[in-house]
Amino acid sequence: MQRASRDAGVRPQHIGATAAQLRDAIDEYRRLFRAQQIEQMRRFREVALQAMQRLAAFEPRLCGALLHGDGPLNHVRLLLRADTAEHVIMRLSDLHIPWRSGETTLIHAGNRQVAWPTLRFLAGDAQIELVVLPLDAVSDPPRDALSRQRLDTLDEAQLTALLDADQRASMGT
């Protein structure tokens, strides 16, 4: 779809609705017609928080579909910062977590596509994906595939605040 839009000369800024407006519409639809998905999203965000706490040494940041709830809710993508993927592998081994390796391509400044080492594992019915970025990735963070803006991410404190806000909202306070 992105390629077809690009080939047709249609850019995200030419489309009537912004990403934020689309996410708001998805949230409203979910609230009205798919209330069970709100609970699923909360549950998977809690799984993400637990993974972030166990991998705190790598400054994990939640990104992707679970962040905004606009894709597969059971897919937890965390961006980690480490000298090498082996450091993350050693931590997973210490936690007795079996994993598979792969690569994930992310977009960076200048529309550069960079393949990063990725470690995947299951936590219950959640698919956890750990994308290992270098320590200096702060100076060139990943970009959103559509908007080319800096990728939205949450750190542990921000995710905790989001979960707390969701909990208050569900209780009607």
Taking only the tens place, the pLDDT of each residue in 27-36 is 666 665 666 7
Q: Which residue has the higher pLDDT, 113 or 169?
A: 113
pTM score: 0.81
- On the question of pLDDT at 75 being above 70, the answer is yes
Does the pLDDT at position 70 exceed 90?
no
* Domain ranges across the chain: 2-170
Pairing mode, if any, of strands 100-108 and 112-123?
Answer: antiparallel
- Pick the residue with more confidence: 29 or 169? 169
Q: What pLDDT was estimated at residue 15?
A: 56
Alpha-carbon span 157 to 167, nearest angstrom: 15
Contact 78, 51 (CB under 8 A): yes
Q: Where is average pLDDT lowest: 115-119, 149-153, 157-161?
A: 149-153
Per-residue pLDDT, averaged over 8-31, amounts to 59
pLDDT at 74 over 50: yes
Rounded to an integer, what distance in angstroms lies between the CA atom of residue 52 and that of residue 48?
Answer: 6
CA distances from 12 to 22, 26, 133, 140, 160 (A): 12, 18, 27, 22, 31
Give me the residue label for tokens 């803006």: 149
| Residue 73 reports pLDDT greater than 50 | yes
DSSP-based three-state secondary structure for 45: helix
- 4 has pLDDT over 60: no
Asked whether the predicted pLDDT for residue 149 surpasses 60, the reply is: yes
pLDDT band at 51 (very low <50, low <70, confident <90, very high): very high
d(CA 164, CA 142): 27
Rounded CA-CA distance 62/161 in Å is 13
pLDDT at 5 over 80: no
Report the pLDDT value the prediction gives residue 12, as an integer from 0 to 100.
52
- Tens of pLDDT, residues 85-123: 999 999 999 999 999 999 999 999 999 999 999 999 999
User: What average pLDDT is seen over the chain?
Assistant: 86
